[in-house]
Amino acid sequence: MSKAKSRHPTLDLHGRKKDEVFDLVDRFVMKNQNKDKIRIMTGKGTGAVQSVVIDYLKKGHFPWEYETLPSGAKNTGCLIVFLD
């Protein structure tokens, strides 16, 4: 299975624990605040990691959407976050 290349900075949270996520996302957002979009790969799993990320984004008022694959389907394990 090949991974799609993204032109947006990407944070891969696969294998991370829920309690690690907030700080990782916060540092990543701050580091890339001059970008228009970033990509956060939460994976699907139990949904715990994604839940922390979405909560962070909501509290920070960052609009986001699920990544759209070339087929047009939504990749619910990957979030595109709009920073500008």
pLDDT of residue 7: 86
pLDDT of residue 5: 59
Give a yes or no: residue 28 inside a domain.
Answer: yes
Mean pLDDT of the region 18-39? 96
**Total domains, the chain:** 1
Q: What pTM was computed for the model?
A: 0.90
- Run of H or E including 12: strand 10-12
What residue has token string 């139990």?
A: 46
Residue 29: give the domain boundaries. 10-82
As a whole number of angstroms, the distance between CA 35 and CA 69 comes to: 21
Tell me whether residue 61 is in a domain: yes
Q: Is 72 left (phi over 0), alpha (psi -120 to 50) or beta?
A: left
The model's pLDDT over 29-74, given as tens digits with 9 standing for 90+, comes to 999 999 999 999 999 999 999 999 999 999 999 999 999 999 999 9
Residues 6+ apart with CB under 8 A from 7: none
Domain holding 42: CATH number?
3.30.1370.110
